[in-house]
Amino acid sequence: MEQIPHSDNAASYDEDPDTSVHNLLSQRTLIIASNRAPVTLHQSENGELEYQRGSGGLVTALTGVLQHAEARWIACAQTEEDSAWGRGEVSLGENDAKVLVQFVSPSEAAYEGYYRVIANPLLWFLQHSMWNIFREPTIDQTVWQHWEDGYVAVNRLFAEAIAQQIEAAPSPALVMLQDYHLYLAPSFIRYKVRPKARYTLAHFVHIPWPGAEDWGFLPIKMRRAILEGLCAVDLLGFQTREDGLNFIRTCESLLPGARVNYGRSRVWFRNHATYVRDFPISIDVNGLRQLAETEEVNSYREQLTQSHGDWQIILRIDRIEPSKNIVRGFQAFDEMLELHPEHRGKVKFVALLVPSRLGVTEYGDYLDEVMGMAGRVNAKYGGNDWEPIRILVDENYPRAVAGLQIYDLLLVNSIADGMNLVAKEGPIVNRRNGVLVLSERTGAYQQLEPGVLVVSPLDVYGTAEAMHQALTMPMVERGERAKRLRSLIEDQDIVDWLRQQLNTIIKLNL
C-alpha cells in the first residue's frame, strides 16, 4: 500500500490548552461513519490495490484527532475495489496517524435505492426546500421499495458494522455519524449492541433541517423512522441554531411520545435524552493557505489571469447542483448587464462547476438548463472579443483555489445551503479584496454577515443590484469588508468545529 504524500495540513490539537479533549480521546475508541471513506482505492498497473487520501474538510479535521485516538472509519463501498479491499489500516496526515477503514458493501440495487432514490434526491430535495410539491415527489410503491430495500437496509448494514466495532473496542466508543445518509443507523445500533457496552453516539447533519411543515410531507412511517433514529443519538449537531430549533420543533409536532425542552435544547424520547447543538463547520485555514502557494495553483492562476486579465471577474464555484441556484445567478448577471450597460465588455462571469450525482435524473437535466441559460446570455451580449459567461466543467480543486485568488466578486446565491465552504475559502485566499455576495439562506451567512452583501436567492433583481454594487464598490470599502471576513473565518476553523463537539461531550458528561 502506498500513501500519497500530502501537505502538512493535518489539523493540530497539540496547542489545545484544554487537555480534557486529549484525555477524552485517549480514553475512547473513535468510530467515524460516513457515506464516503477518507480514502479512494485504485488498482495499480501490477494489479495491487493502492489508496489515496480523499479531499475535504472532514478528513482534515479528523486527521488531527487520529494521532490521539484509536480510530476506525466505516464507509460505504463506492467501487468494486472498495468492496474487494473490505477493511484495512491506512495512514493519514503528516504523522501517518493510523485509522482502520472498513467498507460496508450493499448490493448494487440496495445502493441505488439508498443513495440515488432516498438520500438523493428525496431527502436532499426535501431538506433544501426544492420539491415542486404540486408535482413531485410521488412516493409510489417503487419508492417505498427503495426505502425498505435500500435506505433501511444500508443503514442496517452500517449499524451492524458499527455495533461490532463498539463491542470489539478496547475502550468505550465515541461514534461520530455523518449526515443524511445515516439517519436510521443510531436506533439500529441501540438495538444491536449488548446492553452493557459503553458508548456515546454523536451525529452531525451537514445540510439544513427545515421546519415540521416540510417533514410533514414525508409519509408518517418514513419521518418517524428518521426522527426515532436521530433521537437515539446522545449529541445531535447542526450547522446553525435555526436548524437545531427546527429539529426540536419537528419532534414536538411529528414524533408522538417525544418531550422537548427548548431551554436546554434537548429532546426526550423512549427514556433517552438527545442534546441538540449547533457546530458551524469551517475550513482548514492553514492547509488552504499552503495549497494556495503551490506551483500547481500558481500556474492555474497565471492561466486564468491571462485569459481573463483585463476584465473584472465574477466567480462562482459549485457542484452542478440545483440547490446552488446557478441558473438564477446567470439571470441576475443578465439583468445587471441590462440595467447597468456600463459593465458590458468589462466584466466576465467565470463558473467553475464540478460534475455531481449525474446518475440522478434531476442533476443531468439541471446541467442542460445551466448551459442553456449561459448560452442565451452569451448570445445576447457577447461579441468577438467578449464572452460574458465562461463555464468550465471539471473536477479540479487546485484550479478552483486559483480562481478564488483572483475574483472581484464571489457569488454564492444558494436556495439553501447547510454552510457553504466556498464562501469561507474565498476570503482566505483572495488577492483582490473581492466582495462576497452571499445568500441569506446559507449557514455561512450566520457568521459572515458583517462582511458580505446579502441576497435573497429568489430575488434576481436584488442579486443583479448587489452585483452592480460589488463591482462599483470603492477599494477602501472592499478592503475593509475583506479584512472583516478574513478575521471572522480565521477565528473559527475546522479544528474548532471538532473541538467544540468534543468539549460538549465532556461538559455534558456523555
Residues that bind ligand GDG (CB under 6 A): 55, 206-207, 281, 317, 319, 354, 395-397, 400, 417-422, 425
Backbone angles phi, psi at 483, to 5 degrees: -65, -45
By C-beta, is 322 or 418 nearer to ligand GDG? 418
Type of residue found at 221: K
By C-beta, is 408 or 425 nearer to ligand GDG? 425
Q: How many CA atoms within 13 Å lie on the side-chain side of 195?
A: 0
By C-beta, is 70 or 214 nearer to ligand GDG? 214
By C-beta, is 369 or 395 nearer to ligand GDG? 395
By C-beta, is 7 or 396 nearer to ligand GDG? 396
| Nearest distance, CB of residue 423 and ligand GDG, angstroms | 7
| Nearest distance, CB of residue 485 and ligand GDG, angstroms | 16
Q: Cα 147 vs. chain centroid, distance in angstroms?
A: 23
| Nearest distance, CB of residue 325 and ligand GDG, angstroms | 12
By C-beta, is 207 or 260 nearer to ligand GDG? 207
By C-beta, is 188 or 322 nearer to ligand GDG? 322
| Nearest distance, CB of residue 169 and ligand GDG, angstroms | 27
| Nearest distance, CB of residue 319 and ligand GDG, angstroms | 5
SS3 of 277, please?
Answer: strand
| Nearest distance, CB of residue 104 and ligand GDG, angstroms | 21
Residues linked to residue 173 through DSSP beta bridges, in sequence order: 29, 199
| Nearest distance, CB of residue 148 and ligand GDG, angstroms | 27
SS3 of 447, please?
Answer: helix
Cell of 250: 419537528
SS3 of 264, please?
Answer: coil
Q: What is the DSSP code string of 230-253?
A: HTT-SEEEESSHHHHHHHHHHHHH
By C-beta, is 282 or 312 nearer to ligand GDG? 282
Q: What share of the chain is helix, strand, coil (3-state, %, to 5)?
A: 50, 20, 30
Question: Any idea which residue has 478575521 for its cell?
Answer: 487
- Nearest CA to 485 out of 432, 427, 441, 410 is that of 427
SS3 labels along 324-373: HCHHHHHHHHHHHHHHCHHHCCCEEEEEEEECCCCCCHHHHHHHHHHHHH
User: How many angstroms separate the Cα of 129 from the Cα of each of 121, 133, 336?
Assistant: 11, 9, 27
Dist. CA 368–CA 4, nearest whole Å: 36
By C-beta, is 60 or 102 nearer to ligand GDG? 60
| Nearest distance, CB of residue 422 and ligand GDG, angstroms | 4
Q: What is the DSSP letter of 253?
A: H
| Nearest distance, CB of residue 27 and ligand GDG, angstroms | 28
Q: Cα 115 vs. chain centroid, distance in angstroms?
A: 16
